[in-house]
Amino acid sequence: MKDFEEYFIRNIPTIKSFHPYYNEALSYIIKNSGKHFRPKLMLSIVKEYEPLLLESSYKVAMALELFHTYSLIHDDLPAMDNASLRRGKATLHTIYNDAIAILIGDGLNTYAFELISTSAFRDDVKVELIKILSTNGGLSGMVLGQAIDLEFEKKPLSLSEVEIMHLNKTAKLIAASLLMGAVIVDLDKDTKDKLYQFGLDLGLLFQVQDDIIDATLSESEAGKPTGLDGDKNSFVNILGLNGAIEYANSLAKKIEDEFSNLDLKLQNALKEILEKYLYRHERK
């Protein structure tokens, strides 16, 4: 995905303005946007099924990453996680201020939909892509999950409630990334449904793994502040560290079973990514 990485950096927006550091803040957060996991999921599907559509999909892939980045900017704010480090770099609000961090986050949220709306696909495809991202990242998805997380920060939830919280907060955007790839290459409904469920389980696994990493790695090893979960409803706090690892292993096995039932082309598209991330909670 080297071409996409180059496209991503080349297309960081520059806004005409006399604001002293608006573009600087925008460039800083986008350049430090991380692994691009969600765009890679989407692009892997496009590359396998319709390679001629790959470059046309870069705008949509960038939209996915910028939408995710907006959520992290807001998540790091003092009113939420109050984090000073993200991906080994100082968080936006600690370099500048809370207000510009909120506004840059708002801007990336809306800019994501501008990118999709101006992509090269047919109007019906663009509308479906916008619907998927807004539904999974919005009121009934990621935003709901974050609201539950904050409201019940010091109020214990059951395991099933924590699963619901993180399916919304984390998993739905990962599932949406896969589904958006499927929409671009026009896969059938049954395959889309299987892929979306696969994505939900993969996203839930990611959250469990993040909780394990928070409990076991130092700040320098993780590239972000660790030990912040405290009284939060994390899988480690609910199940204990060994229980969370067992839960992650069980979920990883379920994902492997789901993966084996996917179309062979989908398996080929996602195999490399899956191998890299499926058991990352076991790595020291």
| Residue 2 banded pLDDT, cuts 50, 70, 90 | confident
Statement: residue 261 has pLDDT above 60: yes
Task: Tell me the C-alpha distance between 93 and 109, whole Å.
Answer: 17
Structure pTM? 0.94
* Domain interval for residue 78: 2-282
How many structural domains compose the chain? 1
**Tens digits of residue pLDDT in 232-251:** 899 999 999 999 999 999 99
Instruction: Report the CATH number at residue 235.
Output: 1.10.600.10
Give the pLDDT of residue 63: 99
Angle at 101 between CA 10 and CA 112, to 5 degrees: 45
SS3 content of the chain, % helix, strand, coil (to 5): 75, 0, 25
230 backbone φψ class: left, alpha, beta (φ>0; ψ -120 to 50): left
Give the pLDDT of residue 219: 59
| Residue 82 banded pLDDT, cuts 50, 70, 90 | very high
Copy the structure tokens of residue 215: 């409990």
Statement: residue 20 has pLDDT above 60: yes
Give the pLDDT mean for 124-139.
Answer: 99
**Tens digits of residue pLDDT in 35-69:** 899 999 999 999 999 999 999 999 999 999 999 99
**Tens digits of residue pLDDT in 99-121:** 999 999 999 999 999 999 999 99
Copy the structure tokens of residue 20: 């002293």
